[in-house]
Amino acid sequence: AGAFLQPVQLKKKIMNKKLFAVIGIAGAITTFIIFKVRQRRLAQLKGTAARQIFQLTGFRGDFLKAELLTAIELALKCGLAVRECDASRREASFKDGTDGIDPVTKTDQDNEDLVTSTIQHRFPGHAIIGEEASAASGKIVSTLGDLSHPPTWIVDPIDGTQNFVHGMPLSCVSIGLCMGGRPVLGVVYEPFRDELFLALEGQGAYLVSLELSTARRLFVDGVRTLQKALVLTDPGYERSEEGVSKMTSAYATLLRERVQALRVIGSTVLSICWVACGRASAFVIGFHKEGGKSWDYAAAYVIAKESGASFTTIQTTTAESKPATNETATSFDIFGSSCICAGTTSLSNQIRSLVTR
């Protein structure tokens, strides 16, 4: 029996050695990957990644280059904070009271403070509209005309805060710049997929994969009919009886008209960016009084417009809040609450006609 067991024991020893060797190699590979990731993150924090990313795109010339590099650098730093924060930094207080639905976290506030202080230092003549500062002061710029002078940055330090608070990996950082009364620069960073959306007015939009170190020019999917469209939407903070009734009625109409898919991802900024890159055909929000805010639209608007998307509103932004006509709906205002962003005007018109019945 001893003679029989000896080869078996020897075989086990050999197998164990091979197993330990495999484990050792796997450990070394894991350590190397972690090291490379940390190197990349360190480069992002030092700001060197912004210049490398710029070179991946087709942007040319020096106009807004300094502003774009700054926005990229800040978006990466803020995104890193979102991705790597612990549970304590996801704890939320609520802007609308104890049982509220509009959360803010320490990470939101720290991100906005970083963006604000950096922009004030590098571009001292520029104005800044930040979500958290606006909420704290209760003062929000309300018309596009107010942005005519000086150049104005519009910042959402974390869009999709509800997702962030609950640990859902669908949040992003949004930094937009308006000049001459219109959005001209957009940077959106989604840290969980390590994707960076960039756009400059007149120079196109790009999606940069930081993991792969690649960039591709963005174009919408070109879908023209509801029956072939994946439509994104978001109930947002609408909780009034009339608002919920209008919203559910609009959703029911889209479904009855056989929209191919209706989805909610919980981030207005990402929803518009996903239309820009062809992952969705359209995005619609703001069926009643509650909808998007300027920090939801500013950066994403430039990205989607430069990708070929069209923008309209469901309703006007006037004090009377009258429903928009076809004429008034053609001019999109980032300070309005409602938005239909679609890859084609044909699809946009179909959606608008259905949700305003």
156 known ligand binder = yes
Task: Report the distance separating Cα 119 and Cα 113, nearest Å.
Answer: 10
> What is the residue whose two structure tokens read 């999606």?
207
Nearest C-alpha neighbor of 128 from the set 62, 81, 70: 70
Q: Break the chain into its structural domains and give their ranges.
A: 40-217, 226-316+333-356
**CATH tag, 226-316+333-356:** 3.40.190.80
Confidence of residue 332 (pLDDT cuts 50, 70, 90): confident
Confidence of residue 329 (pLDDT cuts 50, 70, 90): very low
> Tens digit of pLDDT for each residue in 290-319?
788 999 999 999 999 999 999 999 875 433
> Tens digit of pLDDT for each residue in 55-102?
999 999 999 999 999 999 999 999 999 998 766 666 776 765 666 666
Beta carbons within 8 Å of 135's beta carbon, 6+ residues apart: 95, 102, 104
Evaluate whether 325 touches 315 at the Cβ level (below 8 Å): no
Confidence of residue 147 (pLDDT cuts 50, 70, 90): low
The CATH architecture that domain 40-217 belongs to is 2-Layer Sandwich (3.30)
- Helices (H) and strands (E) in the chain — how many of each? 10, 14
DSSP summary character for residue 322: P
Evaluate whether 174 touches 299 at the Cβ level (below 8 Å): yes
